[in-house]
Amino acid sequence: MKILPHRYPFLLIDRIIALDPGKIVQAIKNVTINEPCFQGHFPGQPVYPGVFILEAMAQAGGFLVLNSIENPEKKLMYFTGINNSRFKKTVTPGDQLHFEVALDKFRLGTCKIIGTAKVDNQIVAEAEMMASVVDRRN
Protein backbone atom coordinates (compact mmCIF):
# COMPACT_ATOMS: atom_id res chain seq x y z
CA MET A 1 0.00 0.00 0.00
CA LYS A 2 3.06 2.27 0.27
CA ILE A 3 3.72 1.82 -3.46
CA LEU A 4 0.26 1.45 -5.05
CA PRO A 5 -2.26 4.30 -4.74
CA HIS A 6 -5.29 1.99 -5.03
CA ARG A 7 -7.61 1.42 -2.08
CA TYR A 8 -10.77 -0.60 -1.40
CA PRO A 9 -12.72 -1.52 -3.41
CA PHE A 10 -10.18 -1.13 -6.20
CA LEU A 11 -7.01 -2.50 -4.60
CA LEU A 12 -7.12 -5.91 -6.24
CA ILE A 13 -3.86 -7.41 -4.99
CA ASP A 14 -3.91 -9.08 -1.58
CA ARG A 15 -0.23 -9.89 -1.26
CA ILE A 16 3.10 -9.72 -3.06
CA ILE A 17 4.68 -13.14 -2.59
CA ALA A 18 7.92 -12.77 -4.58
CA LEU A 19 9.83 -9.92 -6.16
CA ASP A 20 12.93 -9.68 -8.30
CA PRO A 21 13.12 -5.86 -8.58
CA GLY A 22 12.89 -4.57 -12.13
CA LYS A 23 12.37 -8.09 -13.49
CA ILE A 24 9.42 -10.08 -12.15
CA VAL A 25 6.77 -10.07 -9.44
CA GLN A 26 4.38 -12.68 -8.11
CA ALA A 27 1.19 -11.66 -6.35
CA ILE A 28 -2.07 -13.20 -5.19
CA LYS A 29 -5.72 -12.20 -5.06
CA ASN A 30 -8.20 -14.21 -3.03
CA VAL A 31 -11.56 -14.07 -4.77
CA THR A 32 -14.42 -14.17 -2.26
CA ILE A 33 -18.19 -14.05 -2.62
CA ASN A 34 -18.02 -10.68 -0.82
CA GLU A 35 -16.53 -8.94 -3.88
CA PRO A 36 -18.84 -6.01 -4.77
CA CYS A 37 -18.87 -7.03 -8.46
CA PHE A 38 -20.74 -10.26 -7.73
CA GLN A 39 -23.96 -8.38 -7.00
CA GLY A 40 -24.38 -7.94 -10.72
CA HIS A 41 -21.84 -10.25 -12.42
CA PHE A 42 -23.82 -12.55 -12.47
CA PRO A 43 -26.55 -13.06 -9.86
CA GLY A 44 -26.85 -16.77 -9.11
CA GLN A 45 -23.74 -17.59 -11.15
CA PRO A 46 -20.89 -15.35 -9.96
CA VAL A 47 -17.98 -14.92 -12.38
CA TYR A 48 -15.04 -12.65 -11.55
CA PRO A 49 -14.83 -10.07 -14.38
CA GLY A 50 -11.97 -10.44 -16.82
CA VAL A 51 -11.29 -6.72 -16.69
CA PHE A 52 -10.70 -7.07 -12.93
CA ILE A 53 -8.19 -9.85 -13.60
CA LEU A 54 -6.39 -7.56 -16.06
CA GLU A 55 -6.52 -4.67 -13.58
CA ALA A 56 -5.04 -6.85 -10.82
CA MET A 57 -2.33 -7.98 -13.23
CA ALA A 58 -1.63 -4.34 -14.05
CA GLN A 59 -1.49 -3.45 -10.35
CA ALA A 60 1.11 -6.18 -9.82
CA GLY A 61 3.02 -4.75 -12.79
CA GLY A 62 2.67 -1.27 -11.32
CA PHE A 63 4.18 -2.51 -8.07
CA LEU A 64 7.03 -4.12 -10.02
CA VAL A 65 7.84 -0.97 -11.99
CA LEU A 66 7.26 1.61 -9.25
CA ASN A 67 9.30 -0.46 -6.79
CA SER A 68 12.29 -0.17 -9.13
CA ILE A 69 12.38 3.63 -9.49
CA GLU A 70 13.30 6.51 -7.19
CA ASN A 71 10.53 8.18 -5.18
CA PRO A 72 7.74 5.76 -6.19
CA GLU A 73 5.32 7.51 -3.82
CA LYS A 74 5.45 10.50 -6.18
CA LYS A 75 4.55 8.48 -9.29
CA LEU A 76 1.57 6.69 -10.84
CA MET A 77 1.29 4.22 -13.70
CA TYR A 78 -1.39 4.70 -16.32
CA PHE A 79 -2.46 1.96 -18.76
CA THR A 80 -1.78 2.94 -22.36
CA GLY A 81 -2.52 -0.36 -24.09
CA ILE A 82 -3.42 -4.02 -23.77
CA ASN A 83 -2.37 -6.55 -26.39
CA ASN A 84 -2.76 -10.29 -26.83
CA SER A 85 -5.21 -10.55 -23.96
CA ARG A 86 -6.80 -13.96 -23.55
CA PHE A 87 -9.20 -15.42 -21.02
CA LYS A 88 -8.98 -19.19 -20.82
CA LYS A 89 -11.15 -20.16 -17.83
CA THR A 90 -13.70 -18.51 -15.59
CA VAL A 91 -12.75 -17.39 -12.08
CA THR A 92 -15.32 -17.85 -9.33
CA PRO A 93 -15.61 -17.24 -5.58
CA GLY A 94 -13.16 -19.37 -3.62
CA ASP A 95 -10.45 -19.21 -6.29
CA GLN A 96 -7.03 -17.79 -5.53
CA LEU A 97 -5.53 -15.90 -8.46
CA HIS A 98 -1.76 -16.18 -8.72
CA PHE A 99 -0.19 -13.49 -10.89
CA GLU A 100 3.23 -13.53 -12.46
CA VAL A 101 4.18 -10.31 -14.19
CA ALA A 102 7.49 -9.62 -15.91
CA LEU A 103 8.94 -6.33 -17.09
CA ASP A 104 9.75 -6.71 -20.78
CA LYS A 105 10.82 -3.14 -21.67
CA PHE A 106 11.15 0.16 -19.84
CA ARG A 107 12.43 3.35 -21.42
CA LEU A 108 11.53 7.01 -21.41
CA GLY A 109 8.82 6.45 -18.79
CA THR A 110 6.98 3.84 -20.86
CA CYS A 111 6.97 0.16 -20.08
CA LYS A 112 5.73 -3.13 -21.45
CA ILE A 113 4.79 -5.83 -18.98
CA ILE A 114 3.77 -9.40 -19.68
CA GLY A 115 1.49 -11.16 -17.23
CA THR A 116 -0.25 -14.41 -16.55
CA ALA A 117 -2.96 -15.24 -14.05
CA LYS A 118 -3.37 -18.80 -12.79
CA VAL A 119 -5.80 -20.65 -10.56
CA ASP A 120 -4.64 -24.04 -9.28
CA ASN A 121 -1.60 -23.77 -11.57
CA GLN A 122 -3.78 -23.45 -14.70
CA ILE A 123 -3.63 -20.27 -16.78
CA VAL A 124 -6.92 -18.38 -16.62
CA ALA A 125 -5.74 -15.17 -18.32
CA GLU A 126 -2.72 -13.62 -19.98
CA ALA A 127 -1.87 -10.26 -21.50
CA GLU A 128 0.79 -7.86 -22.66
CA MET A 129 0.25 -4.37 -21.26
CA MET A 130 1.77 -0.99 -21.94
CA ALA A 131 1.85 1.76 -19.32
CA SER A 132 3.36 5.16 -18.69
CA VAL A 133 4.90 6.35 -15.45
CA VAL A 134 3.64 9.85 -14.63
CA ASP A 135 4.01 12.31 -11.78
CA ARG A 136 1.38 12.05 -9.06
CA ARG A 137 -0.55 15.27 -8.43
CA ASN A 138 -0.60 16.26 -4.79
Q: Give me the active site residues, please.
A: 41
Q: Where are the beta strands (DSSP E) in 37-121?
A: 75-87, 96-107, 110-119
- Per-position DSSP letters for 9-46, written without gaps between them: TS----EEEEEETTTEEEEEEE--TT-GGGGTS-TTS-
Alpha-carbon 118 to chain mean position: 12
